[in-house]
Amino acid sequence: MAAPPRKPRTQKRAAPAAETARSQAAAPRKRDKSQPAPVEKPLPEWIAPCIPSDARQPASGAGWLHEIKWDGYRVGCYLKDGRATIRNRRGDDWTARFPAIAFALASLAVHNAVIDGEVVVLDSSGISQFGLLDEDLGWGKGKAARDAILIAFDLLFLDGNDLRTWTCEGRRGALTAILPATSDRIRMSEEITGDFHRIWRSACSSGLEGIISKRREAPYKSGRNRTWVKTKCSQSDTFVVVGYMLSPGTRRLGGLALAEERDGHLVPIDCAISGLSLAAAALKRRLDPLIMEKPAVTGLKTSAVIWTRPEVRVEIEHRGKTRGGSLRAPVFKGVRADG
């Protein structure tokens, strides 16, 4: 499978006929601002995202559709009367971080809508890289991104209509109808067709993070459930920084002491991280004000740790855990600003 296309293309498969008719009625391509909006229900202030579960077995068969697993920040985009608000997965307002995307969203020909998607930065091969997005945002400083784009993959609300009871396939059809044919800032997450095993092997060989599979006939449900499942090429998880180590003979940050959140408690992960070189200086500046005398967790075997308050979360790619609880081949991907 080739890398994701640099330019979006028109969705080939149409939604079921009945829902296509509904989407066309609910989503006019041109809006007459002199006419009142056909509002039936108020725009929700916040809809918690649907969270995919880890796949227990391959999600193959005609009942599933497959998309690329994008590596970025999950967002909900709230459009109302020509203005757009972008919220992260916890509901925080991040519009100021992605002004170019917000501007593009505000130009869509809708009265109001809620779009579910992922903000990403693509590398030269068209692969989303969390580290590039972290860099675009100033290594955790939350500056306005310049290169970020929105990959849209679901439509939850449109012009007074709550679409969460629609099928996944029907919502995709309605979303395709309101998105521009071409845009520098908004792209549709395309369905990948074919045998699942071939799709997944091609995704991994192309350097993608994995595949998201969705039940075609399922409604949208907030929270973690099994109507969406993820099959990852490698594991990537969020951990809490509880300290750091210096490179031998220097004052440069050379590794991180990590902990994992389980049932409201921190469990130590004995770990030194590779992949820190580009972000090391900025990350150390962020951690230094958090230095404390005693560790926030006990049981870490790492020596020469400078302990910090557990307030910074990072994304770490790894190949599972050892029997002792350490991560195999951990690689730092970036600072998580969304908790």
Q: Are residues 139 and 41 in the same domain?
A: yes
If one counts the domains in the chain, the total is: 2
Q: Do residues 240 and 260 touch, judged by C-beta distance below 8 A?
A: yes
What does the pLDDT read at residue 37?
Answer: 52
Q: Are residues 27 and 50 in the same domain?
A: yes
Q: Are residues 309 and 210 in the same domain?
A: no
Which of 204, 232, 260 is at the close of a domain? Answer: 232
Which of 184, 214, 232 is at the close of a domain? Answer: 232
Residue 48 located in a structural domain: yes
Beta pairing partners, 198: none
Q: Are residues 239 and 194 in the same domain?
A: no
Which of 173, 201, 232 is at the close of a domain? Answer: 232
Q: Are residues 211 and 266 in the same domain?
A: no
What does the pLDDT read at residue 2?
Answer: 42
Q: Are residues 38 and 85 in the same domain?
A: yes
Q: Are residues 70 and 99 in the same domain?
A: yes
CATH number where 265 lies: 2.40.50.140
What does the pLDDT read at residue 233?
Answer: 83
CATH number where 111 lies: 3.30.470.30
Q: Are residues 71 and 206 in the same domain?
A: yes
Cβ-based neighbour number of residue 29 at 10 Å:
11
Residue 3 located in a structural domain: no
List, for residues 86-102, the tens digit of each pLDDT value: 999 999 999 999 999 99
Tell me the residue range of the domain where 73 lies: 19-232
The pTM for the full model equals 0.75
What does the pLDDT read at residue 36?
Answer: 54
Q: Are residues 224 and 257 in the same domain?
A: no
Residue 211 located in a structural domain: yes
Q: Are residues 219 and 265 in the same domain?
A: no
Instruction: Measure Cα distances from 238 to 74, 90, 184, 269, 312 in Å.
Output: 14, 15, 30, 12, 10
Residue 9 located in a structural domain: no
Look up tokens 């203005």; give the residue. Answer: 83
pLDDT below 50 — which residues of the chain? Answer: 1-31, 39
Q: Are residues 240 and 168 in the same domain?
A: no
Residue 1 located in a structural domain: no
Residue 6 located in a structural domain: no
Q: Are residues 188 and 57 in the same domain?
A: yes
Residue 47 located in a structural domain: yes
Residue 64 located in a structural domain: yes
What does the pLDDT read at residue 34?
Answer: 52
